[in-house]
Amino acid sequence: MGGAAGKAAGKVYDFGQRAQEATRKLQEMNDRIGKMSGLLHMVQTEGEIRDQLRSREQGDRTSSSARALMESDQANKDNQKEQTILLARIDNYFQSLENYLSAIANWPLDKISKQLNSLLPGDDAKGGTLAEAAQKLYEQIQQEEKDAQKRMNGK
């Protein structure tokens, strides 16, 4: 709706909202008082019963449309099930591939990190001087180069 009719409908709605809020506040006050007054408690109980009956009627009268909504939602989910499974499987395989590529790319960095860690005192239980650690690193690098040469020559 537009124009004056829309503004009027908005005002009526706002009026209804304010009336509900004022009623809620008064009912809260009556609830506090009702704990001491038997007659007021009966009025509150009658109001609760009427609320329950209204809710039951609303539920009964909207149940067929709620069933149609539920059935259409379930049919939609059933139709999307295979697509959802396929996309999840594709995501899993791509993530696995990414993890393997990351492991391959990080392999040299891991080797370098291990070598650098061996240079720092306290990396092993034996300890030792920095010169001993440097000598050990040099020997390990020499051995790695020999092993790589052997692999390249097919021996």
**Which pLDDT band, with edges at 50, 70 and 90, does 139 fall under?**
confident
- Residue 80: φ, ψ to 5°: -90, -5
If pLDDT is split at 50, 70 and 90, which confidence band does 2 have?
low
Residue 150 CA from chain centroid, whole number: 51
Say which DSSP state 120 is in: S
pLDDT digits (tens, 9 = 90+) for 54-91: 999 999 999 999 999 999 999 999 999 999 999 999 99
Q: Is the dihedral of CA 140, 146, 152, 154 positive or negative?
A: negative
- pLDDT tens readout for residues 81-135: 999 999 999 999 999 999 988 888 888 888 888 777 777 766 555 556 667 777 7
Domain ranges of the chain: 69-106, 108-119+128-154
Contacting residues for 27 by C-beta, under 8 A, at least 6 apart:
44, 47
Judge contact between 118 and 136, C-beta under 8 A: yes
- State residue 87's pLDDT score: 94
Task: Give the pLDDT mean for 140-144.
Answer: 86
Cα separation, 144 vs 150, whole angstroms:
10
Q: 10 pLDDT exceeds 80?
A: yes
Kindly tell me the sign of the dihedral angle through the C-alpha atoms of 74, 76, 78, 84: negative
First to last CA, the chain: 86
- 24 pLDDT band, cuts 50/70/90, is confident
pLDDT of res. 116: 78
The burial of 44, by beta-carbon neighbours within 10 Å (0-12 exposed, 13-18 middle, 19 or more buried), is given as middle
- Tokens standing for 23? 């009623």
